[in-house]
Amino acid sequence: MSSNFEANNNNGEKQLVCVTGAGGFIGSWVVKELLIRGYHVRGTARDPADSKNAHLLELEGADQRLSLCRADVLDAASLRAAFSGCHGVFHVASPVSNDPDLVPVAVEGTRNVINAAADMGVRRVVFTSSYGAVHMNPSRSPDAVLDETCWSDYEFCKQTDNLYCCAKMMAEMTATEEAAKRGLELAVVVPSMTMGPMLQQTLNFSSNHPMAKPYKFSNQRLKDLGLEFTPLRKSLHEAVLCMQQKSHLPLIYPVPKLSSTVPRCRSISDTTIKLFNMSCNSAEVAANDGSSNGGEKQQQQEEEVVCVTGAGGFIGSWVVKELLLRGYRVRGTARDPSKNAHLLALDGAGERLTLCRADVLDCESLRAAFAGCHGVFHVASPVSNDPNLVPIAVDGTRNVMNAGADMGVRRVVFTPDAVLDESCWSDPEFCQREDIYCYAKMMAEKTATEEASRRRLQLAVVVPCVTVGPILQPSVNFSCHHVVRYLTGAAATYPNAVAAYADVRDVARAHVLVYEHHGARGRYLCIGTVIHRAELLRMLKELFPQYPVTSKCEDEGNQMVKPYKFSNQRLRDLGLEFTPLRKSLHEAIECLQRKGHLPVVTLGITITITMSSISNDNNGDQKRQQQQQLVCVTGAGGFIGSWVVRELLLRGYRVRTTVRDPADRKNAHLLALEGAHERLSLRRADVLDFAGLLAAFAGCHGVFHVACPLSNRDPELMAVAVDGTRNVMNAAADMGVRRVVFTSSYGAVHMNPNRSPDAVLDESCWSDPEFCRQKDMYCYAKTMAEMAATEEAEKRGLELAVVVPSMTMGPMLQRALNLSSTHVANYLTGAKKSYPNAVAAYVDVRDVARAHALVYERHDARGRYLCIGAVLHRAQLLQMLMDLFPQYTIASKCDDKGKPMVKPYEFSNQRLKDLGLEFTPLRKSLYDAVMCMQRNGHLPVVLP
């Protein structure tokens, strides 16, 4: 996908283009694509007010950049009015029928369009022809390759009453003749039978048309332009789902046939099986009907249906989320689907998640749940020491395996409990005496292995340890409760013991990785780290010093138990990057605070917390205690600014943001952030408007100055960067603000030709201003702005902390593509054919946001904080992208081939690490960034 910059002309103005027949099947998607690419679009329609064109006004970017005008291809005057001021015209309009008047309408209409375009100064026209103008030729050999040189036989089309093909062929010839006569640049797109989801509400022709016999063809010319064709299976799949959502097609659920030779879980009648299948079908239809979003979003999903047992639990919820993010259609089992509303709020749930009532001890309900599924993730298991746990775990697992086999499932992923490596097993007798839960999980895993072998199921076993991280479900799970008891001091002492920990998101990814690697069999140990309980509590104390963390060991007299060694190599070999435990703990606690399960405590306040104040229910009505500080963020609508706002809201601050136009739709994403309704306000202000800044900073405790243009060609760059920064610092001081966090750039650090390549890049490094001025105005502006901030802070007695981020990657909160996301997308789509022999520094946008909050909250934090997660060569970056997304055609040629590869330089981010920041692996940042661009329609979804 090209960036929005391609929609600019040489003067930097946004191009205006016109699309005829904008409300049709192809026309609607052309409009959508042009809007995504940043064009201003004018669509022609016979009646713009007709409700059948309303879907166009709902497209992203439509309210700012789409207008509909009344025009008819047979009315040249209306076409000239429509094309006035346009740089290009896309002529898509054409009836799809065998109306006798079709030929003159198509031909004369096309002639009018071409001439009206020429009359109005349009230089470039794209005409939509049809493969009906190419393939209808009885003299063509069936072995001949169909390509751009082929034309249909007009007489044959006429004799066979195929007037549509006659019309399209004659229209294309007319377009070619008129374009040559009027000196227009003409490109002709010749689509075949066009499939896929609809944007319009009415059924188009191809949604009910038979397939033809295959013949050879060539689409090389479009491939040469970088077009990757969508697999027909995906097009058909999404077309049918779209018709179901728009009620053009009834929802019918497939009921697989049970083989009489396959053993069943227990003796039941075929009538009962059919009844259960009908019950599940009804439930699924009802769920789909109730959760459909009207097809407003393009679905990006795979063919596979998978089922997750215990979907509403801590791990199960994250497994469901991960599967939805990867495009699967997911069916979740629960004893009471109505108590799992958090699942229905997940991204993609409305289109691709259904919940059905099932119990692992009820084999009939499992059969109904697994009907039509390709795979099963068996996560369900109670976490307790109930004596009845063993039969539930063992018999339930046996039922799951056999029900899966009965319903034709070939692949199962099972979740037992932790070991040291894949060859280790717990001692059954010891577990039976000491820990019923461990005994139940061990016996359940052995049962799963035996049943899988007997029923010839492909079984992969993910073996997690103590699982920590943020919760999706409303209630507190066991491991979070375990951490909170220490954080709040409810546990008076801690044991002299070690434990293994893993992040819940890593556990979820592990499930999907072993499912998607079809050669994956057996056990996969999912452990991120093994540490002593004292080390866990030390982390909690460093992250949350305001809480009374347990500090006394119950076994102080004895030697501290040493952590054991473990191996998680099998999952690493599948590409899993484990999340640092410090990050897992930090996000788990913040999540509990947001959900009201843990009070927010400010440093310097003495508190007493009892476990009764920690919510274990899911009522969701406990109010979150909020910090009283009001802070202001400039440039809040941008990539980094949006994440800074989000981070501050999550930490309980009241946030005021400055934007040029609070009512602009491009800032709407801020109002959708968690906590925004209660604690976020948008203010109109500009950094060059000193009075506006004074008003914005009134009553604020701190200011985060993030705003700055990201362009070397912006005429306001230097004024906004330097004068704007001076205004921010002085306005803050005038309004009594004592603390400012300034967002600089590593452009203010690394641009120095005299720096030795062996030198370590740290906070003492500065770019050379004169070198920057000659080579890169953005780096020059940021260097001078940071210097200005430092001078003004010293002059006015402000406490200043400077965060210096490098190239910032990761998912976007805003809708428009930012520079670094465009940088990645251009490599994925082949827009960049080669890469430079260069290194660059990268960091995750979420780490940048956390860095801002960390330096603000540490009142002794002063000066620069270099925010770099990794430095690597561009070739390494592209290799990561290839590993993560092998389905894309990624540039593999270096534009400086033959010269030695530039070596990455060393750097230090120790100052931020000392504040507790754990940097996100770049692989994760890239993965999340690409998935986000796919979901937002900035990047086409390409199936592996």
Supply the residues annotated as catalytic.
782
Q: Which distant-in-sequence residues (6+ apart) come within 8 Å of 910 by Cβ?
A: 762
Q: Which distant-in-sequence residues (6+ apart) come within 8 Å of 133 by Cβ?
A: 151, 152, 165, 168, 169, 171, 172, 190
720 secondary structure, DSSP code: I
CA distance 285 to 290: 8
The residue written with tokens 């220490």 in the block is: 486
Distances (CA, A) of 924 to 43, 427, 650, 880, 885: 40, 37, 21, 10, 12
3-state secondary structure of 717: helix
Q: Which distant-in-sequence residues (6+ apart) come within 8 Å of 126 by Cβ?
A: 88, 89, 90, 91, 186, 187, 188, 189
Angle between helices 533-543 and 478-487 (to 10 degrees): 70
**What is the per-residue burial (b if ≥16 Cβ within 10 Å, else e) of 422-461?**
beeebeeeebeeeebbbbbbbbbbebbbebbeebebbbbb
**Closest CA relative to residue 168, chosen from 189, 196, 184, 186:** 189
What is the sign of the dihedral through the CA atoms of 627, 633, 637 and 642? Answer: negative
Pairing of strands 185-189, 305-309: unpaired
**Closest CA relative to residue 180, chosen from 190, 172, 189:** 172
β-bridge mates for residue 526, sequence order: 464
Widest pairwise Cα distance in the chain: 101
Distances (CA, A) of 617 to 48, 485, 613: 52, 16, 11
CA angle 659, 16, 64 (to 5 degrees): 30
**Closest CA relative to residue 729, chosen from 690, 770, 782, 673:** 690
Q: Are residues 323 and 306 in contact, defined by beta-carbon separation less than 8 angstroms?
A: yes
User: Chain-centre distance of CA 820, in angstroms?
Assistant: 15
Distances (CA, A) of 679 to 390, 637, 813, 924: 48, 16, 18, 30
Structure tokens that stand for 326 in this block: 């990867």
Structure tokens that stand for 877 in this block: 């970056």
3-state secondary structure of 188: strand
CA distance 579 to 27: 45
CA distance 434 to 494: 19
Alpha helices by DSSP H, listed for 389-427, are 389-406
Q: Are residues 334 and 311 in contact, defined by beta-carbon separation less than 8 angstroms?
A: yes
Distances (CA, A) of 202 to 66, 197, 292: 21, 12, 17
At 750, give phi and psi (nearest 5°): -100, -10
Q: Where are the beta strands (DSSP E) in 60-219?
A: 66-70, 88-91, 124-128, 185-189
Q: Are residues 326 and 512 in contact, defined by beta-carbon separation less than 8 angstroms?
A: yes
Q: Are residues 126 and 34 in contact, defined by beta-carbon separation less than 8 angstroms?
A: no
At 678, give phi and psi (nearest 5°): -90, -30
β-bridge mates for residue 330, sequence order: 306, 353
